[in-house]
Amino acid sequence: MSTPLRRSAILSCLATLLLLAPAAHAEEGELALSLGAGAWLGSTTVDDQEVFSAAPTGVVALRYGLDDFWQIGGSLVAGGALSGDHDPGLLAMAHVEVYYFLDVVTWVLWGVAGAGVLARDAHPDVLAAAATGSKPGFDASAVVGLGLDYRPEREWSLGVAFRYEIVLTDLDRTSPTAHVALMFTQYFE
């Protein structure tokens, strides 16, 4: 086969593949509501002693698709933190977030970055006071994460999300925290 004929055949095949390829699940203009359950892990230093905390959590997130790749949204994570020999206490995180999606038909890989607030009874100042009825401590936080969704239909997906949170206003006493969750997402056009 001659070179010009070979090029024409290759271009024809590529054009045919592009026309026959299934449409990707673009999310421009869509609202996505995610509900999930997960686990949070963190540690703080109180009186030169490290206190580990773990919490089962519930997650609610809402996103809006700006285009096929970028989304803005927010998330709320809440649970009951278990901290060593301390009573179970409140754990809550709220973030404003920016998402970037790589959509490969039914498997969607995404990254997220955001900022917000972390409220917890396992805050070092609250644990050090050890007073009953003490209020939760609040800190500014930043979050980065990755997720993988299985989206067999345009209307819903199942996925897993991993988030790494840095407590900006208590860096010397609070180690970065980790959160993993299983998520169900419903999409609205």
In-domain check, residue 22: no
Least confident of 47-51, 93-97, 128-132, 153-157: 128-132
Give the C-alpha separation, 26 to 89, whole Å. Answer: 40
Q: Whole domain around residue 72: which residue ranges? A: 27-188
12 domain-assigned: no
For range 139-161, the mean pLDDT:
94
> Is residue 11, in this structure, part of any structural domain at all?
no
The pTM assigned to this predicted structure is 0.77
- On whether the CB atoms of residues 80 and 96 are closer than 8 A, the answer is no
User: Number of structural domains, the chain?
Assistant: 1
Residue type, 182: L
pLDDT exceeds 70 at position 42: yes
- CA separation for the pair 86, 184 (Å, rounded): 33
Q: For residues 141 and 111, is the Cβ–Cβ distance under 8 A?
A: no
Rounded percentage of the chain residues whose pLDDT exceeds 70: 75
Please state, for a pLDDT cut of 90, what percent of the chain lies above it.
48
For residue 11, which phi and psi values (nearest 5 degrees)?
Answer: -65, -40
Q: Is residue 176 part of a domain?
A: yes
User: In the structure encoding, which two tokens stand for residue 110, read together?
Assistant: 């995404």
* Domain presence at residue 16: no
pLDDT at 84: 63
Residue 74 lies in a domain: yes
Please tell me the number of Cα atoms within 13 Å of 8 on its side-chain side. 5
pLDDT value at 61 more than 80: yes
Domain membership of residue 10 (yes or no) is no
CATH code of the domain covering residue 62: 2.40.160.20
| Eight-state DSSP code of residue 68 | S
Specify the pLDDT at position 123.
Answer: 58
- In this predicted model, what pLDDT tens digit does every residue of 73-129 receive, in sequence order? 999 999 987 766 666 778 899 999 999 998 777 899 999 999 999 888 765 555 555
Q: Which residue has the higher pLDDT, 16 or 123?
A: 123
Q: Check whether 22 has a pLDDT greater than 50.
A: no
- Would residue 15 count as lying in a domain? no
